[in-house]
Each structure stands twice: as C-alpha cells, then as structure tokens.
Chain A
Amino acid sequence: MNRSLWKFLTSLRVTIVLLGLAIVLVFIGTVAQADEGLYQVQNRYFRHWIVIGTTLWGYKMPWFVWPGGYSIGVGLVVNLLAAHIKRFHWSMSKLGIQLTHVGIIILLVGQLATDMLQVESHMTFNEGETDNYIERARYHELAFTTDLDKDQQQVVAVPEPLLKQGETINNSKLPFTVKLQTYGGNGDVVSIAKTMDAGNKLTAALGTLEAEFSSADQLVPQAQRVAETPGRAEIWRDALRGVGETDVEDIVAAAKRVAADPAKEGKLRADLKQRFRAGMLMRFSNMSDDKDPQMASGMRLAAERVSAGQPVTEASLPPASTEGAGAHMTLRPLPEVKDMDTRSFPYAVLDIQAGGKSLGTWLVSEALREQPIKVGDKTVYVSLRGERHYLPYSIKLLHATHKVYAGSDIPKDFRSRILISNPTTKENRETEISMNDPLRYGGLAFYQYQMTKDELDRSPGQSVLQVVHNPSWLAPYIGCIVVAAGMLWQFLHHLVGFITKRRTARTA
C-alpha cells in the first residue's frame, strides 16, 4: 500500500478531525430537530453519508454540506483499525488503550448493524386475547382472508406501496378483482347516524338558546337562573360590560337595568347568544368520549359543519361506500401527521368486481374491523391493517396493569402478564413484561409500551407491546464493558504512576 496513504489512515490528526466533525454533526443534528423533527433528522443526518442543507434556529442554510453519520463512523472505524494494526504491541501500560479502542469498534460496528438489521413492530391486544402475529409500525397492508377450516386461514395481503388510486388487484386466490377507487393517507371515519344525532342535539340546543333570549323580558329571569353559576355568570358580566354596564357584580340588577333600555337590550341578547353559541360549539368540537368514540367524532363533525354554516343532513353526509360498514359511515379526510406521537389512519374505497360486473364498493380503514364480502358461497374478509408477520408461537394477554400515582395523572406502572404457547417447544408458560423489563424470546424482544392518557381512556383493558428484532443487541453491552475496563485500567495506571512519582519527589 501507498506509504503516505497508510500514514494518513493511521494518523492521530485524522482521529481528531473526525471527532471534531462528529461533534459539529451531532450538535447541528440536535438543533435541526426543532425544525425537521427527530425522525427526519435521524435519516438525513445520522443514517446518511452526507448532509446537504439545514435549518438552524429558523435560518435556512441550503449551502451547508457536512459528512453524515455513516461517513464519520466508517472513517473512525478505519482510522482505529489502521492505527491498531500499525502500533499494536503487547504491554501492560498499553492494555487499557487497546481495550478501549476495541470496545469502541464493537460499539460503532454494532450500531451500524442495528441500523441496518433492526425491525420494529408491535402487538396490540386486549385482556384475554391471543395473538400469533406482530404488526409493523407505520406500514400497512390490504388483507383478504378466507377461513379454510377451524384453525387455518388463507391470507392475501397487498403491502402499502402497491396501494395507489386507480390500481387494480388480481390474484388467483381471490374470487374477484379489486379496483382501488380512492386511497388516502389519513382520514376520520364517522358514523352518519351519530353525526345526525349530534347535529340534532346541537341544533336543538342552539334553538333553546335562541328561545331563551328571544325577547327583552326574558333577560331578568335568565340572569336569575345563572347568577349562582360561576362560569356562566362570568360570561354574563363580560357581556354586560360590553353594553356599557359598569357595576356588574350583581348580574340580576344589571340585567334589570339593561332590559329597561331598548337601545341596549337587543345588543346584549345578541351578544349573549353569540357567546353561549360559541361555547357550545367549542364543547362539541373538543369532545372526546372514552366509551363512545364514534359519538365523539360525530359531535366533532357536526360542530365543524354547524360552525361553517353547513347543514347536518343525510344529504350532506354521503356514505363512503355502498356496501359494508362504509355504507353507514362518512369520510372526513385529514392531512397526514408527521410527528412521532400521533399517527395517521389510512383508508381506501374498493370497487369489487366479479364476473364482469361490480358487486359494490367497500370502505376499509384501520379504524374499522374486517368486513365480509360474499361471492357465491365464498366469504372473503377484507381489512386495511398494519403489515403482519406471523410467529411460530402465540401470546395471550392475561392481565394488563396501568397505574397512575394517586390523585395525579403521572403514569406509575405499566405491565402485562402474558402466556406464551409454543407448539414446537411444547412451552406453555406465564411471564410478565413491564417497563424497563422486556421479554426476550425467539430472537425478538418484547417491550411494554407506555400508553398515552388518551389511548388509555379509549381502550382500558388494552396493552401494547413494542417488538424489536435486533440481532446485534448485545454489542453495546459488550462494547461498554470493554471500553470501561480499558479506560479504568489506563487511568488508574496513570494515577498510580503519578502518585508514586509525587511521593518520591516529596521524600527526595
């Protein structure tokens, strides 16, 4: 090999430059998260060879070019290996340095392997349910299942990248062809009946409100009714001030004064109506109901329509499909979410064709259960769901525990008691998974996921396990021990040397 190249590769200066480049990269990759979000930063800065363009503290810097995480990592590994080959010789005083560097190589290589090999999925089940598959996060599939016999299912799954509007799906195992009429990345599926119901309630409430303030002589009795309710009383006071009343402590007295003044009372009534109406709409559109989420989304949709001055009628809520659950549902397309905490619910409307004619359309969404499609005497179940991988064993959720600290909403403890049944090994045993205490089984690691408050309210008996397949998971453990041992050896070696030297210097 070229001697100067070898010298370059083994040079300590190169190490220092690489460390400096790494520091700047990590720093910029941290600040840029405010603008780009963690997920994109990971891919663009750290899991990449080169970074082009960045935005820091709101300043766009398209000219910014920097080596990415892969380049620096590979550079450091090459530099380290080369330096070791060149300088390696066995001695006690060097042992520490050697060990440290070996450990760092293990860490770097292990991290690279993790990056390339790790697959993240999850398992979601309710107490008492048994599952034998895991679902990939953020990947979906359109699945057609047919029951073959009691225990067996035939599954035809179409992965998300193939799901595009206008696409036709033909499969010899399916008794029909599927045409994708619509496909959307995120949408709320809302029950038409519930929306109508909510719309009626809202209109009725607004009607009552209208009646309550229809004439001047209603002002005083209304004021008497609310005088004791703090929230409503405040709204009254505000409105009374709005028509020029200064002393509003006693609402009833103030209302009497205004009611007697024709110039003011009309304005006050209009103002109060407006305020209570806004409050009512706000309550509807912020609705969340743990027991009946469909009702809550119906209320949100109704409030949205009413605020926009649109009607909430059967005609204005077209069903999403002609057949299946979608026949009673309407679609409310939403923008796709990009942050890590919330997720999108993709949906599709399928036109099912058999024997040259259409059997109708079906709506599929992750928010809906699987729906039957009958063709002749065959029933195929269709659903849009997370991409599944089947396991050679099954897991049953026996009990899910979610605790918060008393009198607070601070999560305290999350754990799942599960039963693993593996026909190959004849295992049938119970075990427990909790936060910070995963289960490693069959090459996978199962972690307890901490559900958010909303998720908990929505589905109380549910537990989510994060499932990770990472063949190189041990590398950081080994790497850390080796580096720590190396450093400790080296620095203690120095320290002992230093103290002995000082001792001799002082006694001398």
Chain B
Amino acid sequence: MKKWLPLIITLVFVGWLIGQIPVPKDEGFAVHEFAQLPILNGGRRQPMDSLARNALLQMRGKQSANYEPWKGWYQHPKIVSATEWLMEVLMNPASADTRPIFRIDHPDVKGLLGLPREAGFETDGKHFSWNQLQPKSDALLKEAQRASEVASSSRNQFDKAVLNLWRATFLYQQLKSTVQPPDARDWREELGAFLENREAGRAAAIAQQSSKPYDEKALSQIMSDVERFDSMEHYDEFGKRLEMRMAMVLPPETGNDDMGWKRTGQALMEAARGETPNFALAYYAKMGADYRSGDVENFNKDLQSYRQELAGRLDTNLKEASKETFFNHLQLFYLSMNISIFAFLAAIVYWFRPVDWDWLRRTAAYLLCLGVLVTTIGIIFRMVLIGRPPVINLYSSATFIAFGAPVLGLILEGFWRNSIGVVVGSVISGLCLIVAHYLSLEKDTLEMLRAVLDTNFWLATHVVIVTLGYASTFVAGFLGIIFVVRGFFTEAITPELKRSLARMVYGIVCFATLFSFVGTVLGGIWADQSWGRFWGWDPKENGAIIIVLWNALVLHARWGGLVRERGLLVLAIVGNIVTAWSWFGTNMLGIGLHSYGFTDAAFYTLIYFDGTMLALIIIGMLPLNLWRSPLEGDTSKKAKPAPGGAEPQPA
C-alpha cells in the first residue's frame, strides 16, 4: 500500500488539475465567446479577455470582479468573470458605473474622495464604484497632477496611491470609450443616424465654409457627432503621455496586417471625413443594443455572425485570441503554486515523522515534480503565445526561477533523499510565484519588447542564464536557512547531515558562479553589440556583477580555509540578500524605471526578507552550545577541504 500511496496522492492532484481544464458553460450571454474576440492592444494581438483581466488587475488586483464585496464568501457575493464585467463597461457604462471595482486602501485617499473608511451598509470600505468617485474626481485629478510633478523617487505613499487610482480611473474612462461613445443612449440608433446624415452633413459643412446656403440641421448634427467622437479619441491622445494607449477593437477592412486595426473613435472620425465606415462598427453597435436590452438570443447571434465575418481572413487572430483566453483561464502558475504548497507540507511533515515514512518523502517529491511540470507547461505556453524565449521581463524571470529552483531541488533530492531538496525547491517556487502574481498587477505580462530587446538570441542566452544564476544562488541560500533553522531550533542536524548540506551548497554555488558569470558577461557582450559599450555600470548590470563577485568570494573563502562547513552555509544565506537586491532592489532605486504601486510594496517586502535573512545569519553565528542539534565538538579537525580538493590551502 505504502508503495503506491505517493502515486495515488499525486494522481488525486492530477485529477484536480484536469478538473480545472474545462471552461465553465455560459448561461445567457455568450461571455466566453466574447472573451475570445481578437483585438489589438499595447501593440500586440490579444483577446478581449486579456484586456478585461489586465484592467481588473490594475483596478482591484484580481482577475474577476466582485459586485458585492461587503458580503462574506459564505453569503455568496456576486462575483463575475473579467469579461462579463468588461462587456458591461463597454456596452452599458451607466450600469458599470455602479460596480465597486476600484480598490482603495490608503485612508487619506478615501478622505480626499469623501469615501467611507470602514465597512458599512453595502460597502466594505475598500472597493468603490465610479459613481462614488466621480463627485470628487476633480480633487483626484488635481492631486494626481501634483503627485506626477513630484520626482518619482521622492513620492510618498499618498502620492503613489493617488497616482495609481487616477491611472485606474483613466483606464476605466478609456474602456468606456472603446466600442461606443460613453454617453450613448442607443448606440445602434445613433450610429445609424450618423451614417445616414453623414453625406448631408459634410455637404453642409463645405457649403458653409464657402458661404453658400446650407442645411443647418445636418450641419449641427454632424458637428455634435464629430465632437463626441473627438472626445473619445481624446482619451487616446492623452494616454500617449502616460504610455496608456487605447485598445483597438476594429479589425482591418482588408488583409490582416496589424497596422490596419483601428480604435472606434478613430474609425468614426474617418467615417465623418467621408471614408467608408469600418465593417465592425455595426456589429459592435448591434451587440451593444442587444446587450443593453437583455436580448440574449440576438446578442449571441450577432456575436456569432461577427466571428464568422472574421473567420478566414483573420483566422490567425481568432486562433491566437482563443489560445490566450484559454491560457488566461487555466492560471497555470496559480495551480502550480498550490501544488508547491502541498509538496512543502508533505516534506515538512516527513521531517517530523514519528516513524520512517519514506512514502511521504516520495509523495512530496512527486508533487513537486507535478508542480514543476505545471510551471513548465505554463512557461512553454507563454513562449508559444509570444514566440519568445522564456524570460522577457521581471514577471517571467519570477516564473522561471519558480521553474529552475525546484528542478535543482529535485536533483539534490535524487542524490540525498532526505526531502531537503523538496523543501528548498517548493519554498522558492511558491514564493516566486507569489512575487509573479504581484508583478502581474502592474501591466500586461505578455508585453511587446522594445527594439533593443527584440532579439531572441540574447534573450535566450543572457537572460535565461542570468536567471538560472539567480535561481541557483537562492537554492544555496535556502539550504543555508534549513541548516540554521533546523540546527538551532531542532535536534535534526547531525554532523553528517551538516556535511551533506555543505556539500550541496558547495556544488550549487559552483554552478551559480558559472551561470551568473557567463550570464553577466553575455549581457555585457549584448550591450556591446547594441550600444558599443561592454559595461556601463547601470544598476541592473551592477546587481548581476555583485552576485558573481559574491559567489566568487564564497568559493575562495572555502578554498582558502577561511570558512568551514558552517561558515559556508551561513555565507550562502547572505547570498539570498545579494540576489534579492540584484533582482528587485536595483529596480527600486527610481533610476530610469517607473516606480508605481507594487515596487513600493516590494520595497517593504524586500526589507522584511533581508531582515529575516540577517536574523538567520546572526543565529547561524551563535556559539554551537546554544544550538539544539548536537554539532559541538565536530568542527575544524574533521572538516575536509572541499570535495575534489580543488585549490591548495595556503601554507
């Protein structure tokens, strides 16, 4: 039985994973179909679903919308999918304005906007609707303008909170102007009237300019139409300065070139100038009218015929959009994070086992394997979606460490079979996936790459290798943590286990040195290829070289006999501080990088992390008689030079 237990438990998890695959069926509006509509946003093809999820992530930090946040989960609050929410924003903004989807935590921001600070009747004191913010939106704009003029490095919490909220509200306004004018009462009707009057209006305008008699009614109608469309375009014009361009929902008239996509406002303005109106305008207007009147049947029919219209010519866009929607739905990294947690628990329980439960250790290892598998699928899926190597930005570096560290952990587990590798792998993987989640709140994680980064060769070599360097340095560091925690607080660390740990750390540090060195130098060569300078002392480069120097220092200290096993393990923990700083700290200096929201929260997280590491280092240096593990007496004499005895000891 025990022999099969690990496999059975793992299969249970596999079953759970398979259960996550099917997409829930839509009752009523074909939300899932709508989610898969192709659009162009942020310079890349994507589905409506991604627009919706990324918007909600920015506004409330979740990929779904809770319309009744004041209810506890047991009261079944109304939670809708991102696309369901987006459909309302796009096609029935007046109703969307009542949904509490802006999350505000800073008490002074609530004060500024005159919002309740505590939970009360139909409010949780954290989530607010546009209707609640709107009366004080001038005050918000004024504060945001002031805050934007403060240098990003000297903005305080309030400034940042105000800026974030303002950006979120701006994005919301943009969305409301994405498929129809936000103030439209019956857009299908209004669009029809505009198109009908278009020619007469243009003729009237021309006549008026040449002081001939003109049709006053037609002119005033087209003028007011143009003004409305122009104000839609205004959100895009203004967004340019904020690097927040509006989504393009109208596909090209002919062909399938990305350059042919248009914003609704843009297409309407062109139509007013006399060009043929984009074919998709009518479809969106029809869907909007059906949606507003709750006509499920016709909405689904119109949606279907729009998709059919796109089929053929825009098949690639449709397919890509469906793929990405499916990827969004799976949330593979979230699933893998959950599995990591179970792997970790199983491995920890194994350490405190009353009898030798090797099946539990194997279960932990199997689960971690499963977790790595899911992460790997996630990474490969992303690679397929964007046609890029695994690491393209900070977010994907986090997911990649969440892949690399447990792989190293599993290799260690294969050699030592004491569940240490599993613990280290699952902890790093879980933490990195949490970090990745927070990074995804910032912006579209599948973003397009600027010209200088647009090179798969360097992304695949330099970036991947440097990230592996980070991953392996973290693995060494967490091995050090296990030594200190278990050694100081429990009796688990025997002299022999200590030697094994030191050996693991030594081996990992060797590879970390190799990866971080090669990765860093490749980065320099890339810089030489694109700017003609190998090394420019910019923060990220410096972060990378510090890791190399640190690993080199650890190795030389070991070779020189300056540290023995315990010293090596404690030094490895310092490596965590060094790596965390290089990975994130360098982004927080406010040099050449937008430091909004998360980076601020990240700053405190980094401080806590470093503080914890320092505490562990201090504990690690306490005299051995204070440790609970019996390590006293087993010190220098038995300590051998490093495996392989690479470097001669100084005389």
Which residues of A line the B interface, CB within 8 A?
11-13, 15-16, 19-20, 22-23, 26-27, 29-31, 33-34, 38, 41-42, 45-46, 87, 93, 97, 107, 111, 114, 118, 120, 228-231, 234, 238, 404-414, 435-438, 445, 447, 450, 466-468, 470, 473, 476-477, 479-480, 483-484, 487-488, 490-491, 493-495, 497-498, 501-502
Contacts and interface: CB of A to CB of B under 8 A. Distances in A.
A445 B517 contact: no
A323 to B, nearest CB: 41
Interface string B514-539: 10011001101110111111111111
B451 interface: yes
Contact of A12 (B528, B550, B560): B560
Contact of B644 (A438, A450, A494): A494
Nearest to B520: A480
B12 interface: no
Contact of A491 (B415, B510, B560): B510
Contacts of A501: 643
Contacts of B586: 30
Contact of B591 (A33, A87, A483): A33
A490 B552 CA distance: 14
25 contacts: A15-B560, A16-B560, A16-B562, A19-B553, A23-B546, A23-B578, A26-B542, A30-B539, A31-B589, A33-B539, A33-B591, A38-B536, A41-B537, A114-B534, A118-B533, A231-B234, A405-B43, A406-B40, A406-B257, A408-B245, A410-B448, A413-B454, A447-B532, A450-B451, A484-B517
Interface in B206-264: 224, 227-228, 231, 234, 240, 243, 245, 247-248, 257-259, 261, 263
B650 A97 contact: no
B431 to A, nearest CB: 23
Contact of B43 (A42, A87, A406): A406
B549 A407 contact: no
A23 B553 contact: yes
A491 B514 contact: yes
Contacts of A231: 231, 234
B533 A468 contact: yes
Given A97-B647, A435-B451, A435-B454, 8 more contacts: A16-B553, A26-B549, A29-B537, A31-B589, A46-B537, A436-B529, A480-B518, A494-B644
Contact of B518 (A41, A118, A467, A484): A484
Contacts of A438: 529-530, 532
Given A228-B227, A408-B245, A470 B532 contact: yes
- Which 3 pairs from chain A and chain B are nearest by CB? A405-B43, A408-B43, A468-B532
A490 B521 contact: no
B451 A38 contact: no
A374 B634 CA distance: 93
A30 B589 contact: yes
Contacts of A29: 537, 542
Given A238-B138, A408-B43, A487-B513, A414 B533 contact: no
Nearest to B513: A487
A215 B581 CA distance: 64
Nearest to B457: A436
B391 to A, nearest CB: 17
B556 interface: yes
Nearest to B506: A494
Given A484-B517, A494-B643, A38 B507 contact: no
Contacts of A497: 643-644
A480 B529 CA distance: 15
B43 A407 contact: yes
A97 B231 CA distance: 67
Contacts of A490: 510, 646
Interface residues of B, number: 82
B521 A407 contact: no
A435 B451 CA distance: 7
- Pick from B224, B258, B454, B524 the residue with the most CB of A within 10 Å: B454
B559 interface: yes
A156 B514 CA distance: 54
B106 interface: no
A436 B452 contact: yes
Interface string B293-324: 00000000000000000000000000000000
A203 B528 CA distance: 53
A143 to B, nearest CB: 26
B37 to A, nearest CB: 16
Given A231-B234, A484-B518, A19 B556 contact: yes
B298 to A, nearest CB: 30
A466 B532 contact: yes
A13 B589 contact: no
B545 interface: yes
Given A29-B542, A30-B543, A480-B525, A406 B532 contact: no
- Pick from B533, B537, B543 the residue with the most CB of A within 10 Å: B537
A406 B259 contact: yes
Interface in B537-568: 537-539, 542-543, 545-546, 549-550, 552-553, 556-557, 559-560, 562
Nearest to A33: B591
A76 to B, nearest CB: 10
Interface string B250-281: 00000001110101000000000000000000
Given A26-B545, A414-B451, A491-B510, A445 B532 contact: yes
A487 B548 CA distance: 13
Nearest to A413: B451
Nearest to B239: A409
B415 A502 contact: yes
B146 interface: no
Nearest to B517: A483
A414 B532 CA distance: 16
Nearest to A445: B532
A23 B549 contact: yes
A10 to B, nearest CB: 8
B153 interface: yes
A31 B546 CA distance: 13
B227 A495 contact: no
Nearest to A406: B258
A474 to B, nearest CB: 10
A116 to B, nearest CB: 14
A495 B507 CA distance: 8
A20 B553 contact: yes
Interface string B591-602: 100000000000
Contacts of B178: none
A411 B537 contact: no
B41 interface: yes
A313 B43 CA distance: 47
Contacts of A410: 42-43, 447-450
Nearest to A469: B532
Interface string B138-152: 100000000000000
A229 B227 contact: yes
A183 B545 CA distance: 43
A111 B503 CA distance: 35
Contacts of B529: 436-438
A483 B551 CA distance: 15
A494 B517 contact: no
B644 A498 contact: yes
Contacts of B549: 19, 22-23, 26
- Pick from A15, A228, A406 the residue with the most CB of B within 10 Å: A406
